[in-house]
Amino acid sequence: MEFAVEVEILARVRHKNLLSLRGYCAEGQERLIVYDYMPNLSLLSHLHGQHSAECFLDWDRRMNIAIGSAEGVAYLHHHATPHIIHRDIKASNVLLDSDFEAQVADFGFAKLIPDGATHVTTRVKGTLGYLAPEYAMLGKASESCDVYSFGILLLELASGRKPIEKLSPTMKRTITDWALPLACQRKFSELADRKLNGKFVEEELKRVIFVSLICAHGRPEKRPTMLEVVELLKGESKEKLADLENDELFNDFNDGLSGADDSSEFISEEKDSLQEVKKVEPGTEKANLN
C-alpha cells in the first residue's frame, strides 16, 4: 500500500526540493523504488546522527535548508493537483544533495486532498514528536498538520535539539516547551545550536524561531500556510514579521505556554502510551494509533 501511494505521489510531483522518482519495479513479490542517491544523507544524520560531530551545517546552509524544504512542502500543499499532504515531515525525511540543498522525501504516508475538502479523516500515521495534536487525537489530516511538523523540524534545525528530550528516565520535555519561554524572553542566542559557536545571523535566527513556534501552535487556525512560511523565512514581508513578533504567543507568557502546553502534553501522553506497546527510542518511532 505504501509502495503504491509513494509511486502515485512521486509520479505527480516535480520540484527542486522534492526527491524525485527514477523508476520502480513491481514484479511478483518484489517492490522497488529507485531514487537519486543523496550523498549528504538526511538532516537527521547531521543534527543527531553519524555526521553530527563534523559540523557541516553552518548557519547559511541551515537557512537554505529551511527555505528549500519549506518550498518543497508549499509546492505539495499549494501547487500540486490535487493538493498533497505529506504526513511524515521530519529530519530523517529531509535529504541533502551534494550542495546541501534540501530534498523532501518519503511519500509513503502522503494523502491526496480532493478539491474543496479542508481535511481528510484518516488513520493516524507519522512520527511522535512531530504530530499535530488535533491529528493525533481526531485523525483530522490537513495541510496544517504538515505545518505543525515543519515547525518542529525548523526548531530542531536551529537549535540542534531533538523533538522530545529525555531529561531523566521518567521525565521528557518537548522542544516547544523548551523553546517557547526562551523565545518569549527574546533569548535567541540560547536557542541557537551550540555547534554554531555563536556564528549565525541574529535577524534570521529570530525569524526561524518565531516561524517555527507559530507553525507548531497547538491551535491549527493559528498556524500559517506553507506559502506564508516561505515568505516569512525569506524575510519578504517586514509587516508580517512584525505581526508575528507581536503575536500573543510570544508576548503573553502564560497564554503562550498554555497554547503550546495543550499540544505537547498530549504528545507526551500519546508517546508514553505508545511506548508501553512499542518500547522504542523517542524521536524515531512511528505512530499508527488505530
Ligand X SMILES: Nc1ncnc2c1ncn2[C@@H]1O[C@H](COP(=O)(O)OP(=O)(O)OP(=O)(O)O)[C@@H](O)[C@H]1O
Residue from 17, 40, 45, 93 binding Mg ion (CB under 5 A): 93
Q: How many angstroms separate the CA atoms of 118 and 47, rounded?
A: 34
The DSSP result for 64-110, as a single string, is HHHHHHHHHHHIIIIISSSEEE-S--SGGGEEE-TT--EEE---TT-
3 state SS of 173? strand
264 lies in the site for ligand X, by CB under 6 A: no
Q: How many angstroms separate the CA atoms of 83 and 78, rounded?
A: 6
Residue count at the site for ligand X (CB under 6 A)?
14
Tell me how far, at minimum, the Cβ of 38 lies from Mg ion, in Å.
11
Q: Which amino acid is at 224?
A: P
For residue 35, the partner it binds in Mg ion, ligand X, none, with Cβ less than 5 to 8 A by kind, is ligand X
For residue 37, the partner it binds in ligand X, Mg ion, none, with Cβ less than 5 to 8 A by kind, is ligand X
Tell me how far, at minimum, the Cβ of 1 lies from ligand X, in Å.
14
Tell me how far, at minimum, the Cβ of 90 lies from ligand X, in Å.
7
From the candidates 88, 106, 177, 193, which is the catalytic residue?
A: 88
Site string for Mg ion, 95-134 (x = CB under 5 A): -----------x----------------------------
- Choices 35-43, 78-86, 113-121, 169-177; region in contact with ligand X by CB under 6 A: 35-43
Tell me how far, at minimum, the Cβ of 101 lies from ligand X, in Å.
13
Q: How many angstroms separate the CA atoms of 136 and 131, rounded?
A: 6
Cβ nearer to ligand X, comparing 45 with 263: 45
212 lies in the site for ligand X, by CB under 6 A: no
Question: How many C-beta neighbours within 10 Å does residue 57 have?
Answer: 23
Is 88 an annotated catalytic residue? Answer: yes
Residue from 5, 12, 33, 41 binding ligand X (CB under 6 A): 41
Element housing 174 (H / E)? strand 172-174
Element housing 26 (H / E)? strand 21-27
CA nearest to 195, candidates 164, 225, 160: 160
- Choices 88-96, 150-158, 258-266, 275-283; region in contact with ligand X by CB under 6 A: 88-96
Provide the phi-psi class of 129: left if phi over 0, else alpha when psi is between -120 and 50, else beta: left
- Choices 57-65, 90-98, 132-140, 228-236; region in contact with ligand X by CB under 6 A: 90-98
Site string for ligand X, 217-256 (x = CB under 6 A): ----------------------------------------
Q: Looking up cell 508549499, which residue turns up?
A: 74
Tell me how far, at minimum, the Cβ of 126 lies from ligand X, in Å.
9
Cβ 82 vs Cβ 9: under 8 Å: no
Buried b (16+ CB within 10 A) or exposed e, 155-174: bbbbbbbbbbbeeeeeebeb
Q: Give catalytic residues, as residue numbers.
A: 88
Residues that bind ligand X (CB under 6 A): 35, 37-38, 41-42, 44-45, 92-93, 95, 105-106, 127, 286
